[in-house]
Amino acid sequence: MTIELPVAPQVVDDLISRLPRSSFINGHFIDGEPHMHVVNPATGEDLLTMSAADPRTSGDAALTAACTAGPAWAESTPRRRSETLRRAYELCHERADDLALTMTLEMGKPLAESYGEVTYGAEFLRWFAEGATRTMGNYYPTPEGNIQVVTIKRPVGPCLLVTPWNFPLAMATRKVAPALAAGCTTILKPAEATPLASLLFVRVLEEVGVPKGVVNIVPTSSTPAMTGPMIQDSRLRKLSFTGSTQVGRALLRLL
């Protein structure tokens, strides 16, 4: 069966030639072994072969990078974090053609729906850009009435973010944006079938000035081997997961 896209073949070829195809750790795309295949679900053929994150080393390296970058990012001003996310929102719209076509190629949704996801996903960046400057604490008296209690919210620390295959951009922005707005650093583990939109997204974040180590991406075909040690590492402070109940229960058993 022949699948025809409403774009010229050379546009597809040009995009594929420009796509990142390796993990992103501490501000660098890391080439090497092992390899994983990204398949075009419309044809069943390989879209490209990429360097996957190595479960033996990449998870620890990404968590170390997130921990190292954490204090400086946590101490950055809410205004800086807000404006960085706002620029990322704008750049996602500027790169809508690349982001939408990438999602169609790697996960198979119609191109019009992929453009819709770019809009939907970018809105999380704008929403949390606006929320970054409005992190409220609290102020109240103790029951005795003689002491005033002040509470201030602080970043929790490095966050592991696990996203599903069906909304590869929107689920990444939905998890990364609030973490960055709050001053947390992140390790994003995209679905094995759809890592490319997340890698394009981290390129956007890199271009708008997110410091190295604040966002790391570890695509892998060995998810339990990658996420298990990180979840059990005391340096990790939060896990956000969207996916099946079965995988969620497996992750909970590691906590």
If 0-12 CB within 10 Å is exposed, 13-18 middle and 19+ buried, where does residue 141 land? Answer: exposed
pLDDT digits (tens, 9 = 90+) for 182-199: 999 999 999 999 999 999
By percentage, how much of the chain surpasses pLDDT 70? 98
* Residue 194 confidence (pLDDT): 97
What are the CA-CA distances from residue 81 to residues 1, 61, 210, 252 (Å)?
47, 24, 9, 31
pLDDT, mean of each 10-residue run, the chain (255 residues): 71 95 96 89 93 93 98 97 98 98 96 97 98 90 92 94 96 98 98 96 98 97 91 96 87 80
In the Cβ-directed half-sphere of 177, how many Cα atoms lie within 13 Å?
27
* Residue 7 confidence (pLDDT): 81
Q: What angle do CA 15, 19, 21 make, to 5 degrees?
A: 150
* Residue 223 confidence (pLDDT): 87
Element holding 248 (H helix, E strand)? helix 245-252
* Residue 1 confidence (pLDDT): 44
- Nearest CA to 157 among 232, 61, 239? 239
* Residue 218 confidence (pLDDT): 97
- Nearest CA to 169 among 231, 220, 104? 104
Which 3 state secondary structure label does DSSP give 216? strand
* Residue 70 confidence (pLDDT): 98
* Residue 244 confidence (pLDDT): 86
pLDDT digits (tens, 9 = 90+) for 56-112: 899 999 999 999 999 999 999 999 999 999 999 999 999 999 999 999 999 999 999
